[in-house]
């Protein structure tokens, strides 16, 4: 059983990395948010912040990347089903994009609270 679970863990890592590489190569938004995260993390590690503040900033940055990956997945599935313009397809894509925006807003609010508070 342990051997099977270790193999499954290994496969999850391989598949996750393949998903990251695919998105990185084809989605400028992921590249943008990654660069924003590098800047944010650098600042969070350089400033004299409490460990909890650093953790919050870093975790929210990672969540932005996760939201962007999910947004890309929704876009790919919608495009796979049909390339025709359809109101429901547009709404699904817009909702996934809004999830990225809300996550980014949460990170921005956290930065504001940390810097002002």
Residues with catalytic function? 68
3-state secondary structure 47-110: CCCCHHHHHHHHHHHHHHHHHHHHHHHHHHHHHHHCCCCCHHHHHHHHHHHHHHHHHHHHHHHH
Please report how many Cα atoms fall inside a 13 Å half-sphere around the Cα of residue 55, on the Cβ side: 3
């Amino acid at each position: 059983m342990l051997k099977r679970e270790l193999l499954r863990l290994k496969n999850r890592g391989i598949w996750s990395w393949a998903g990251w590489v695919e998105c990185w190569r084809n989605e400028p938004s992921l590249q943008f948010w990654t660069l924003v995260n590098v800047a944010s993390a650098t600042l969070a590690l350089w400033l004299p912040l409490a460990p909890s503040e650093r953790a919050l900033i870093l975790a929210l940055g990672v969540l932005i990347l996760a939201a962007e990956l999910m947004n890309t997945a929704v876009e790919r599935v919608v495009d796979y089903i049909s390339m025709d313009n359809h109101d429901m397809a547009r709404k699904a894509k817009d909702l996934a994009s809004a999830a990225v925006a809300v996550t980014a807003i949460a990170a921005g609010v956290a930065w504001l609270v940390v810097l002002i508070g």
